[in-house]
Structures are given as C-alpha cells and as structure tokens.
Homo-oligomer: A and B are copies of this chain.
Amino acid sequence: MADEALELEPLTPFPGRRMEQAIAAVRAAIDDGRMKPGVKYSVYQLAEGLGISRTPVRDALLRLEEVGLIKFEARQGFRILLPQPKEIAEIFAVRLALELPAVRKAATAPDPAALSDALLHQQRLMRDAAAIGNEHEFAHHDLGLHDLILDAADNSRARAIVKTLRETTRLLGANTADKTRTLTDIDDEHTPVIDAIIAGQPDEAEAAMRKHLENTGRLLVAQALRTEASDRSVDEIWSAVV
C-alpha cells in the first residue's frame, strides 16, 4: 500500500515553506475528492505523491490534526475525520455567537462607503460564480464575504476562528454535493444581510445573518445525519447545542 503514490500534483519548486504548500495540497485534495474521509493514509504516501520528504508533510499533518481535520492513529497512519452531526451543530453555535455581534458592528461601521463597495464587489463575484455553476469558486467567495464582515467588526481573533471553523465544515459540503439549495438560493440569503449592513440597520442585519446561518447549519447537520444513517432528528441535535 505504501507505493500507491496517491496521485497528487508534485509540488512545483516554489518559494515559501513546503509545509504550508503541503497543507494547501491536502486541503485541495480533500476538496476535490482525491482524499476521502475514513480512508487510511500515511505520511510516506503523501510525501511521495508530493515529491518532497516526510518531514514537512508530517509537520503539515500535525497542524491539521491540531485543527481537528485529521487524526493520527498511533503507528498506523492517519484518517480524515468527517465531522459528526453534533460537532457541526457546535461549530454553527460558535459561528452564531461570533458572527451575529460582528454583523451588528459591521452595520454601524465608521466607514460605510468602503465597506459597501467591498460587500457589493464580493456579492458580484459570487453571482458570477453562481451563474456558471462554479461551486468551488462560489464557496471561495462565500468564505470571502463572511470574512469581510468579520474584518469590518475589527476582531482578528474572531475572524481567524471563524475561518478555521468554516474550512472544517467546507469539506463536508464539497464531498456530499447536496443540491437541496442551489447557489442562487444561498445568494438570496446573503442579499438581505448585505442590504441591511449597507443601510446601517444592525437589527435587520443580525436577523438576516441568523437566518442564513441557521439554514446552512441545519442543512449540514441533516447531511451529516444522512451519511451516517442516524435516526436522530436535526431539531433534536440543533436545539440541544444552539
């Protein structure tokens, strides 16, 4: 098994720390399904696939383990973790706690003009991606939008936390390819948030963001429940945590 070199594009000789390139490579591989949760992998495999030595790969994986994306199993390789339904609910509970105050602050920001421009620009990027059905691009800009709002709230620590959480859940959506919501539906949820921020209405912005996050969260919990064929209900899990 060690010689199945796990077809990853070899790292181009590129400046910067190979460790970080390795992190990006693993994330990308998870995104497009070349690496799947549950399957066992080894540092050897990855290092060979990436064309670099084991050390930076190991360092990268240690960082991913820290974030909770993978789990090393002693002397037996590592595994990509699929977030459990409860974990997803927890993640969204945290996101609600952090992003609702953030969107309130954004709606009362000192420099509305610059923020408005940035928000509308981001929205435009998302719509373009939605129009051509490019989910990957869409997800990227969606992350950008939420990041923009967190940035406006001027709390870099909260921003970093949410970014990590969001990247953890992203791979779930990417893998299961749920089509319950089209990209346009998601965009429709963003619109009132953006409008309220621009209009300087914190209450409306918060309410719209809450709705958006709750929809997304419940959907992902439902997906996770389906993949593990559990008989618990979404509401049960959701309301226990949020």
Contact = CB atoms under 8 A, between A and B. Distances in A.
| Copies of this protein, total | 2
A63 interface: yes
Interface string A68-112: 000000000000000000010011011001100100000000000
Nearest to A74: B17
A90 B157 contact: yes
B93 A241 contact: no
Residue of A63, A154, A155, A240 ringed by the most chain B CB atoms within 10 A: A155
A98 B90 CA distance: 11
Interface in A188-202: none
Nearest to A83: B157
Contact of A157 (B59, B66, B87): B87
B101 A155 contact: no
A53 interface: no
Interface of A: 19, 55, 58-59, 62-63, 66, 87, 90-91, 93-94, 97-98, 101, 154-158, 161, 165, 240-241
